[in-house]
Amino acid sequence: MNGPVKVCAVDPLAVIRSRLVRQGLDGEAFGEVADAVAWLGAVQAQEFAEAKWSLAERVRGATDESVEAAFTRGDILRTHALRPTWHFLSRSDARWILRLTRPRVHALNAYWYRKADLDGALFARADHIVTRALADEEFLTRSELADRLREAGIEATGPRLAYILMHAELEELVCSGPRRGRQHTYALFDERVPTSEYEDRSVESGLQELIYRYLRSHGPATLRDVTTWASLPVRESRIALAELGTRIESVTDDNGTVWHWTGHVASAVPKSEPMTRAFLLPMYDEMTVAYQDLRVVLDTALPRVDFLERAVVIDGTTVGTWKRTLAARSVVVEVTLVRELSLGERSALDVVIERFGRFLGLSASLECSVGT
């Protein structure tokens, strides 16, 4: 995307500022990791280290250790939902979100299931082997589950193993367990996820709730944003939007419609003063991957950005990219800017660098350059 994109006559910068507030990045932060995940509905999490920082930017005083502890306890789960990739879900929301979105994820995976020679009979066998192994040993790594499958006559490596385990996740059989060192483990879903108050929620009710959660936490947004984010059917999503009534509002012009929540966190298009905070958005942050329209506002000096890169954002505007270099007791954050920063912007950047160091429990330093 080259430069700001006009969406429904709405000021692009105001939209991004509003999203920063709605997502818990600017303004009052969340008190607990699970609260942030529940508010957002789901948080993309295939890059685990990146996803932990993504949550920590939204949670008051969170550190790498405190986010990891919430994951270890099972307050948040890492599983496949919404799309064919890992997401964090809150424990209380995992069942109904999986039941709502898994048919679409299975449909998106169908070609790859066939390519890997995976059919219903083989999935049934594999599911039995995997769940029996976890019932015997509680937490097992991917390679350990591959060994159990191979011992039972099912060869499972590479993508084939990935789709076998993803299928088991989607069917509410397994989910994330605590990490063993740096290795992820799987656990039985029923052991990690208690019966939910939303257990008997209908598909229609779940669809409304997920769209409501998305607009409440991610809006202003378009219908294309929400249906792509959660792999939802467009026709049914339009009906759900209409049934949300006064809880949401829309702005429409010749370019289309933008929807937003009517709640108190922030107005849809706030005419606010410039934001003073800087953000080091990680790869796959919800501020970028959760949208098809108006992902971020780019500085006009920035001709192109890969939205899977890490973005430096100040006052809703992407002013550069960043990467980190870890040492035993320190971290160096290298920032490549598209322009020189003002004194106030540089001060805001220094603050978030210090915050990133506290998150990691390391001394943090900044190396800054202006790209050509």
Strand partners, 122: none
Half-sphere exposure of 337 (CA within 13 A, CB side): 16
- Residue pair 71/306 in contact (Cβ under 8 Å)? The answer is no
Average pLDDT over residues 190-201: 82
**Nearest residue to 281 (alpha-carbon basis) of 240, 313, 327, 306:** 313
Q: What is the pLDDT of residue 110?
A: 98
Q: According to the model, what pLDDT value does residue 3 have? A: 35
Q: What is the pLDDT of residue 270?
A: 45
Residue 125 tokens read as: 């066998």
Q: What is the pLDDT of residues 32-53, one digit of tens each?
A: 999 999 999 999 999 999 999 9
**Using 50, 70 and 90 to split pLDDT, how confident is the model at 9?**
low
More confident residue, 199 or 308: 199
Complete domains list, the chain, with CATH: 19-192 (1.10.10.10), 278-370 (no CATH)
- Position 13 scores a pLDDT of 82
Confidence of residue 300 (pLDDT cuts 50, 70, 90): low
- What percent of the chain has a predicted confidence (pLDDT) above 90? 77
Helices (H), the chain: 12-22, 33-40, 48-56, 64-73, 94-115, 120-137, 142-151, 158-170, 189-192, 203-218, 223-229, 234-243, 286-289, 343-360
Structure tokens at 266: 């922030």
With 70 as the cut, is the pLDDT of residue 12 above it? yes
158 three-class SS: helix
Q: At 308, is the pLDDT very low, low, confident or very high (cuts 50, 70, 90)?
A: low
pTM across the whole model: 0.92
- Tell me what pLDDT residue 302 has: 54
> Where does the pLDDT of residue 283 fall: very low under 50, low under 70, confident under 90, or very high at 90 and above?
very high
* Residue 349 to residue 354: CA distance in whole angstroms: 9
Residue range 78-90, pLDDT digits in tens? 999 999 999 999 9
Mean pLDDT calculated for residue range 178-191: 97
**What integer is the mean pLDDT of 251-280?**
70
Tens digits of per-residue pLDDT, 148-173? 999 999 999 999 999 999 999 999 99
pLDDT confidence bin for 296, thresholds 50/70/90 = low
Whether the per-residue pLDDT at 305 is higher than 60: the answer is no
Taking CA atoms, 121 is separated from 126, 154, 162, 225, 251, in Å, by 9, 12, 17, 36, 49
> In this structure, what DSSP letter does residue 313 have?
E
Query: Sheet of 43-44: strands edge to edge?
Result: 43-44, 86-90, 76-80
